[in-house]
Amino acid sequence: MLDQKLIRENPLSVEENLSLRGKVYNIAHINELTVKKKEIDIEISSLQSDSKKLSKLIGQEISTSQNHDSPELKNLKKKGNEYRIKISELEQKQRILDKEVENEIYNLPNFPSKDAPIGKDENDNVQIKTWGDHLKKENIKSHVEIGESLSLFDSIKSTKISKSRFITLIGNGARLERALINFMLDIHTKNGYLELMPPALVNSESLTGSGQLPKFSNESFKCSNDDLWLSPTAEVPLTAFNKNEIIDPKQLPVKYVAYSPCFRREAGSYGRDTKGLIRLHQFNKVELYWLCDPSKSLEAHQQITSDAESILKKLELPYRLVDICTGDLGFSSCRTFDLEVWLPSSKCYREISSCSNCWDFQARRSSIRTKIDKKNQFIHTLNGSGLAIGRTMAAILENGQQPDGSVKLPEALVPYFGSNFIKTA
């Protein structure tokens, strides 16, 4: 969430920063609301001050007057009652205006970082580097073909269980998924991350705090009888875990890693990747999450990205690192580095992790602060997949495919899977 004070005092600066996203943002109405809110805040504060002074006068009059029903005392009490009525009326207006301002500001995205490349869409993203060699073989099969030939998963039968875009992992497919989850969690916890296993159901306040609501309500699954949603990413409960807290600066940075199932409608993506593991309504992910001192979030962003990269390197998967342009940034992010893994069958890179620095955007929405120079200040939050399991599996199947139809597994994964190859039964 953007700072109300900044919107109230520097609306043109706010519009200019938001315009870097490639859209025109007119915040005149929000600015007007914040000004009115400030005026009411000042008026309430003034009336409360006058009311306190009047209460003291009434107390003094009662202690010194022989007649507790004197005209002077009655007049003072009447005036005090008028103050209370007026304050109550203004507080009601304040509550309505607070909600209106909040709802408006919640729909504004984060400012892009000045360091992010300027651009309109994904075509303007900047490749920083590549790592690893592309598979050079004839008759390359897709992960869907490999998975079906090795009986690793079934999407057709899954429609009997739920609907399309769900998948059931079978035998070595389920075993590989489990191996990948354990492998990633072990690596990240050894690197100083604290493992959490949060609830898969989250409330609206949690989704709002991380930036998914109100803007992306159509992309999430909601329980009809409760204020609960299926979590679209562990970023949501990890943000909410420290909601309304003041974190001791000596504890920073706080680094979490969490495995979680993720649920997304994938609104607007129909017709794309309808088969396989790339774009599902339910998928597993290992998420990295940082809470850090605002002065150190740039270095933290480099480190969280490096930690996600390390998994790709250990799994020997070719990838590239991309600096996301201002027009393609996520709603809560000010700067994002995407890790994209190479899929030989489609001869292209596909996103497998987005590592984002959100500055104080989520912390402000969730009221997560720390003490800096003896003053409360919002911390900075960062997040990144470390990694998305289904896409990692797809990349392993495609990059490890062998002429005899088997799949050679990366050496680092062998102790977790229990074999060097996945073969037909």
Q: Which CATH class is domain 4-105?
A: mainly alpha
Q: What is the pLDDT of residue 275?
A: 81
Other Cβ atoms within 10 Å of 221 Cβ, number: 15
pLDDT one-digit tens code per residue, 281-314: 999 999 999 999 999 999 999 999 999 999 999 9
Angle at alpha carbon of residue 21, lines to 37 and 323, rounded to 5° = 130
Domain-wise residue ranges, the chain = 4-105, 122-422
Whether residue 157 is predicted with pLDDT greater than 60 in this model: the reply is yes
One DSSP character per residue, 256-279 reads EEEEEEEE---TT-TTSS-SSSSS
Q: What is the pLDDT of residue 70?
A: 73
Give the mean model confidence (pLDDT) for residues 404-425. 95
Give the mean model confidence (pLDDT) for residues 112-129. 97
From the candidate CATH numbers 3.30.930.10, 3.30.70.1350, 3.40.50.720, 3.30.70.920, the one assigned to the domain spanning 122-422: 3.30.930.10
Whether residue 270 is predicted with pLDDT greater than 70 in this model: the reply is no
Given pLDDT bands bounded at 50, 70 and 90, which one contains residue 371? Answer: very high
Distance (Å, rounded) from C-alpha 181 to C-alpha 410?
15
Of residues 45 and 268, the one with the higher pLDDT is 45
Percent of the residues in the chain that have a pLDDT greater than 90, as a whole number: 85
Whether residue 274 is predicted with pLDDT greater than 80 in this model: the reply is no
Average pLDDT, the chain: 94
Whether residue 353 is predicted with pLDDT greater than 80 in this model: the reply is yes
Q: What is the distance in angstroms between the CA of the first residue and the CA of the last residue of the chain?
A: 53
Given pLDDT bands bounded at 50, 70 and 90, which one contains residue 138? Answer: confident
Q: What is the pLDDT of residue 337?
A: 98
Q: Which 3 state secondary structure label does DSSP give 26?
A: coil
Of residues 136 and 112, the one with the higher pLDDT is 112
Whether the CB-CB separation of 343 and 394 falls below 8 Å is answered with: yes
**Amino acid type, 359:** W
* Max Cα distance, the chain (Å): 107
Q: What is the pLDDT of residue 181?
A: 98
Distance (Å, rounded) from C-alpha 167 to C-alpha 188?
27
What residues have CB less than 8 Å from 85, skipping those under 6 apart? none
Whether residue 30 is predicted with pLDDT greater than 90 in this model: the reply is yes
Q: Which 3 state secondary structure label does DSSP give 377?
A: strand
Q: What is the pLDDT of residue 67?
A: 63
Given pLDDT bands bounded at 50, 70 and 90, which one contains residue 54? Answer: confident
Distance of CA 400 to the CA centre of its chain: 32
**Amino acid type, 95:** R
Alpha-carbon radius of gyration of the chain: 27
